[in-house]
Every structure is written in structure tokens, then in C-alpha cells.
Amino acid sequence: MNKLAIIGVYTLVIFMSACSTRGTGSYKHKVYSQPKTYSQLKTYSHPTMRPYTVRGVRYYPTVVSVGDEFRGNASWYGPNFHGKLTSSGEIYNMHTMTAAHKTLPMNTIVRVTNRRNGLSVIVRINDRGPFVATRIIDLSNAAAKKIQMIGTGTAPVTLEVLGFKTKGEKSIPTKKEMKRTSQSKSTGNFALQIGSFSHIKGALITQEKYNGIDGYKTTIKDIESSNGRMFKVILTGFKSEQEARDYKKNSQFNRTFILREE
């Protein structure tokens, strides 16, 4: 292994170790038909949206919508991680309004409400965790102080997705600063191959039959293989591997396989 490769591996280990002390959690996902006060930015690509494994558990970061709500327990982390790298590549600062979450996109803005006292705080997701059962978010020390949960260590909370910051921005936005364009739903990073044909006619029939099903779109890929020319019908529009897995499992396409779109 050359020197550059060793440095790359060492950097990856540091990234994951920055939040390796936080198991599985549970949350309640509630989708609103209309967005609330805030709006979303267009989807941006980030390497931390890729599936990852911690302590043998596989996690699938996924796209969420403004108004989504989650319930569970919050914890907080402070001095032991202050100054260390987060999963997003930022340096953790326990005095800023940030938090760690297992699957929300980096730079998601959420309101965290302490259900014991009604106090709330707005934070930006910039790390992964907490990897402890039943906990859904790890707040910075400063954010935990805002909702008075330092002493108890944990608290039952409600999370509400308010919006998203653009790539590279680190501050919490005001309502006026939040962009008002909706998250793009035309394409995704994952797809299902729902058919493969040696003649274009069969592919065209399948494409037309399933185009638009459940909001997803079909395309045809013309492939030269060792068996000759093949026309593959692809169902596109999945924003995460978990979304594609869930759809495959619960639809008529349960015998298809998932593709990663480049």
C-alpha cells in the first residue's frame, strides 16, 4: 500500500471514530401533505449519504421532507469530542448549535423540542450518531443547555425538519434566508432494474407500462454484453438505498435488483 493510500485509510478511520461511541435508535416518521414555515433546498450530493456500518448495524442515510417529525430520546456530547473531526469533516465545536443523527442528510435543520418542559432549539446536523438504542439525536453541549437537559443527560424529544442549508454553509439560517425551492424529485441515486430484453419492442412496452408508477420514472439502457445487445428497463427516482429496498420489498418488483446510478 503506498503512502497516499495509507493516509486515505487513516483519515476514514478518524471520521468514523469521531462518533463511534453513539447502536440503533428508533423514531416515528410523520409526513405532512404540505410544507410548514420553512422550505427545502435542492438535493445536494455528499459522501456521508452513503450507507455505513457501525458495530455490525447497517445504516441508510435517506432524504426527508420539510415537516417530517421524529420522536425518541435525545442525548448530548461535549468535552470528550470537542475539537475532533465529525462525520461531515467539520471540527466539532460543542459551543455551536449542531447535532448528530444516524440517517438525516448533513446540513438538515431541525427543531428539537424537549417534551418534558416544552423548550426547543434549532440545530444543524453535521455528525453521525448516537449509536445507542432508543436515542435518535446527539445534541451539542450548547444546544442541550438551551432545552435544559444537561443535568438529566437524556430527554424525550420531538424533531421537526425545518429545511436544509446549502453545501458548505455552517450557520443556522433565519426564515427569510432559507431557500424556498422544493427538493428535486425527478432523479435519484438508486434504481431498480425491472426488465431485460434482447429486442427493443419488449423494453418499450415495459417502459410505457410502468412509467410514472408510484411517482417513479422508467428509462431504457442499451447495453452491449457478452450475450449480445440487451435493452434494460430501469425504474428511477429513489433518493436512497433504503427507499429502493423498501419499495422493492413491498411492491410487485420484489424479484428485481437495485442499481446505483452514477
| 206-258 per-position pLDDT tens digit | 999 999 888 888 998 888 877 788 889 999 888 777 788 888 888 899 888 88
**What's the total number of domains in the chain?**
2
**247 lies in some domain:** yes
Count Cβ neighbours within 10 Å for each residue of 206-245 and write b for 16 or more, e otherwise.
Answer: bbeebeeeeebbbebeeeeeeeeeebbbbbbbbbbbbbbb
**184 lies in some domain:** no
**23 lies in some domain:** yes
| Rounded distance between C-alpha atoms, residue 196 and residue 153, angstroms | 54
**177 lies in some domain:** no
CATH of the domain at 212: 3.30.70.1070
Identity (one letter) of the amino acid at 137? I
Q: Are residues 144 and 90 in the same domain?
A: yes
**14 lies in some domain:** yes
Q: Are residues 32 and 152 in the same domain?
A: yes
The domain in which residue 64 lies consists of 3-164
Instruction: Note the pLDDT of residue 72.
Output: 94
Instruction: Note the pLDDT of residue 46.
Output: 47
Residue with cell 445536494: 44
Instruction: Note the pLDDT of residue 23.
Output: 34
User: pTM of the prediction?
Assistant: 0.56
**174 lies in some domain:** no
Q: Are residues 156 and 196 in the same domain?
A: no
Instruction: Note the pLDDT of residue 222.
Output: 85
Cell of 168: 458548505
| Rounded distance between C-alpha atoms, residue 250 and residue 230, angstroms | 27
Detail the DSSP E strand segments found in 21-172: 52-54, 57-59, 69-77, 98-100, 108-114, 120-127, 135-140, 154-164
The secondary element (H helix, E strand) that includes residue 95 is none
Count Cβ neighbours within 10 Å for each residue of 171-185 and write b for 16 or more, e otherwise.
Answer: ebbeeeebeeeebee
Q: Are residues 13 and 130 in the same domain?
A: yes
Q: In order along the chain (262 residues), what is the average pLDDT of each group of 10 residues? A: 46 41 35 33 49 82 85 93 89 95 91 96 94 92 97 96 68 49 44 91 92 88 81 86 82 86 60
Instruction: Note the pLDDT of residue 44.
Output: 36
Picking from 146, 164, 182, the residue at the C-terminal end of a domain is 164
Instruction: Note the pLDDT of residue 223.
Output: 83
Sign of CA dihedral 189, 194, 195, 196: positive
